Structure 1
């Protein structure tokens, strides 16, 4: 192993893994430090009981809420990061999301870059992650070239829902999915359209996650090194405090130091903030790059709700995540503020219900198998606004303390009511909507920390941001951050594609810097 690198990347998910992929062909010496290991390929990858009830793949971390109550965060540490278990719904933020937006609950700030700045990288990200879709079918779709792959076709019950939505004057669209599927040549397609995409790891590596798409191709280059089971504890600087000189990590329980010209942090919004706060020194007494007191602040993770609607007929769909709806994304005549996104969530199954007491109680009257046969599963998301007091701090033992108070909840209720109002026209029972808490089944909302963002936001003003527009720390010359912690706002669609596109953008910046 080399003693010194051109670039050290902490984390191998959507940001870090994609950045490594971008840098790999350059010949620059790149080191990826990943806290976890390869995710085992085993039957339990597709076992709902193992995944949702036993929490087989969830981290053993203990975090604390603002009242000091401990909880187990729903995070995963493997090569590929959070993308190993994401649903591969790869949306672009809408054009309006990059500007200042007035919401019911307050202001969503403008980004230091525009949609046009990121648009070419969105296109590259869609090509790299093999996104299927139809550009312009969604009326809020921002401008761009065609999707690189045709849309994933709807199965009969979802096609019926698609048609019914259109008949009531709405504009459903094919969800942008990152999967390795060739419906024209199924014999050569890795994806088998199973029911285990959203919330599961893909046993056959047919989901476009960062391991399969970015990390594995990157490490085929001799100049790229992946070190697994490497938990980075702190970053050390030179006496001036302007340059990171060492990355200190526990590798299989042994402390090791790594040096590189450029250090890029991509450990997830909570853990990237933790790392910077844990790296306090004489020049950075409140945490590395934290002279603005912004590190850890403005934590966001979407106002979301998953629920089941009971179809009057059986729903035998396997791959359900093919439909989206953004008619109310920016509001309507009755509610002037942005609401958010509607999409299908992965098909529910009886083992998922058994982990949820309120659904399991239905079993004597309406069996769980029958419930699953008639369920159509929806996911709605509204924007969670950046609030300085919603933040990551550390307790005396160095553990994450996640202080969070809900905000901007009214748009979620408005969105939910609009979906509910239409159900009687969509072949579903309007009075039987059941909450589905498979991803947030802990007893506090912050435990379900998918889509986490903020905490190390970028901006043009060093007094109100941590990073500049290139995602370099204002206060250091060689420190960058490329996970979703750089987001100044989160929009209302899945954040992964934006993290991927930005990593490609920052990758080009680093290649120019390195010459």
Structure 2
């Protein structure tokens, strides 16, 4: 540890998820010395269940790679505790993600004719981002099929996968109904006998995540190291830049220093740390001179629908195979992607959904009542049978009142306020109507009536832009007013788009890495370190 604390690194990356792992790998491959700082443990290739972490105490949760505390949320005026599946181990939240990495559409970033952008467009347009999307697809070895509705489809680096018969039959049903399904773009490698690790840790490295596609290749360069079980408690700054990180590890306080710092703690974690790092130069929190840090919080709404179609007898579970974008943008409405979830409507999935709703109900403090959910979950599973579950990803829009609210007494607590806006309620109703129509004539049933926010997709809380009065980061994702602090996670996004944010995070992290390298190029060239 003395070597890490005595050394001045070229870059320190806080967090090892999709953003942190990707930016650190790119920096190391370009010749920089990189230190990854991870709050949780390095679990290696161990296989741990992702479910039931909400029942663990803080130490047990962290030992299993989950954030040590539940998230405290004020949703539509009512406080509740939720488990947003926020990761805290090498690989971050991506260690348990479903490995769906899809590009957004051009109108998600650009203010295009006929499809006006809700914020006027991102400061970096789609064509500028295209090479970074392509590089991220290579980093994560994306496989799948081209979207038949895309006039410039992605040239994916890996071939399509072999579909289960029931999925192939369902795709034909959808085509006959006039839809345009394609094979989902996924970060999975072809590993013999791999059982699939969607939604849980992968012991075979067949799923590419922040660890397998980011941290491990960075370590292979010989220019990167990881310090795990290390919590960054403060970012120490002067008037213009970061001077060091104050961290806690094994009960000891240590200071880490670098020439550049990259914050990749997630859409909730990163703004929380910046606000907790207030000092005499930044009394309202780092980058917060205009009260924007933590604001404009967005998620996606998940509309889960069970579909009975095809014959799945003899198949090993359900496959996360099918995507379609027919509903992505309809008659001026911003909806999103529809995808199979890689799940069947079995007992475990139904019980998990019931637990999630219980945790947000007025009965949540009566924990023994949770056990009473098992019987209705079993009855529902018998009634539903083995229906395939699809999810509609409904785009969320930014509102300044939806924001992160750090707890002054507990820096580790992730806390936020969020109100579902009237326009989101309206768009949700329209989206559900189109979803039901899209799957006819197959039998379909929505798995819930109340809006379901995807708490694993927080974004927008440190939005980037050219005007410091309306954004926290500049177009290179450097914090306005701090010349050596960058952000490489979902916080930077001005809008949530209609797809899972993982590929966008990875592509932007590569772009940020190259901006950092460009700034350090004279020093690297003099030292003969350019990769």
Which one of the candidate residues 5, 11, 18 is aligned to 1:14?
A: 18
Are 2:384 and 1:378 equivalent residues in the alignment? Answer: no
What secondary structure sits across from 1:65 in the alignment?
A: strand
Give the alignment of 1:129-168 within 5 angstroms: 129-135=140-146, 137-139=147-149, 141=150, 143=152, 145-168=154-177
Which one of the candidate residues 389, 398, 401 is aligned to 1:389?
A: 401
Are 2:415 and 1:416 equivalent residues in the alignment? Answer: no
**Residues 42-100 of structure 1: CA deviation (Å, up to 9, x unaligned):** 4544xx76579878653231433235835143211111111111111111110000124
Contact 1:304 1:380 in 2 (8 A): yes
Contact 1:33 1:226 in 2 (8 A): yes
Provide the C-alpha distance between the structure 2 equivalents of 1:257 and 1:287, rounded to a whole number of angstroms: 20
Deviation (angstroms), 1:364:
7.0
Contact 1:304 1:412 in 2 (8 A): no
- Residue 102 to residue 203, structure 1, CA distance change in 2 (3 Å): farther
Provide the C-alpha distance between the structure 2 equivalents of 1:157 and 1:142, rounded to a whole number of angstroms: 28
What secondary structure sits across from 1:410 in the alignment?
A: helix
* Counterpart residue number, 2:509: 503
- Residue 370 to residue 53, structure 1, CA distance change in 2 (3 Å): farther
Provide the C-alpha distance between the structure 1 equivalents of 2:132 and 2:51, rounded to a whole number of angstroms: 38
* Counterpart residue number, 1:330: 329
Contact 1:11 1:33 in 2 (8 A): yes
- Residue 449 to residue 433, structure 1, CA distance change in 2 (3 Å): closer
Question: TM-score normalised to the size of structure 2?
Answer: 0.84
Deviation (angstroms), 1:7:
0.7
Provide the C-alpha distance between the structure 2 equivalents of 1:324 and 1:119, rounded to a whole number of angstroms: 21
* Counterpart residue number, 2:100: 89
**Residues 435-483 of structure 1: CA deviation (Å, up to 9, x unaligned):** 399xxxxxx966x511111110100101000111000111111110010
Contact 2:37 2:227 in 1 (8 A): yes
**Residues 133-168 of structure 1: CA deviation (Å, up to 9, x unaligned):** 223x331x3635511111223211111110011001
Are 2:314 and 1:318 equivalent residues in the alignment? Answer: no
Deviation (angstroms), 1:381:
1.0
* Counterpart residue number, 2:364: none
Deviation (angstroms), 1:109:
4.2
Provide the C-alpha distance between the structure 1 equivalents of 2:377 and 2:80, rounded to a whole number of angstroms: 31
Aligned pair count reads: 485
Which one of the candidate residues 128, 132, 135 is aligned to 1:121?
A: 132
Which one of the candidate residues 326, 351, 363 is aligned to 1:354?
A: 351
- Residue 462 to residue 102, structure 1, CA distance change in 2 (3 Å): farther
Deviation (angstroms), 1:220:
2.3
Contact 1:179 1:207 in 2 (8 A): yes
Provide the C-alpha distance between the structure 2 equivalents of 1:388 and 1:105, rounded to a whole number of angstroms: 20
Note the aligned Cα RMSD (angstroms): 2.8
Provide the C-alpha distance between the structure 2 equivalents of 1:258 and 1:459, rounded to a whole number of angstroms: 29
What 5-or-longer segments of structure 1 have no aligned partner?
182-188, 438-443
What 5-or-longer segments of structure 2 have no aligned partner?
356-372, 522-531
Contact 2:302 2:452 in 1 (8 A): no
Deviation (angstroms), 1:28:
2.0
Question: TM-score normalised to the size of structure 1?
Answer: 0.87
What secondary structure sits across from 2:297 in the alignment?
A: strand
* Counterpart residue number, 2:526: none
**Residues 321-358 of structure 1: CA deviation (Å, up to 9, x unaligned):** 111010111114xxx31221100102134233334449
* Counterpart residue number, 1:467: 473
Are 2:176 and 1:172 equivalent residues in the alignment? Answer: no
Deviation (angstroms), 1:41:
4.3
Provide the C-alpha distance between the structure 1 equivalents of 2:272 and 2:161, rounded to a whole number of angstroms: 39
What secondary structure sits across from 1:69 in the alignment?
A: strand
Provide the C-alpha distance between the structure 1 equivalents of 2:374 and 2:310, rounded to a whole number of angstroms: 21
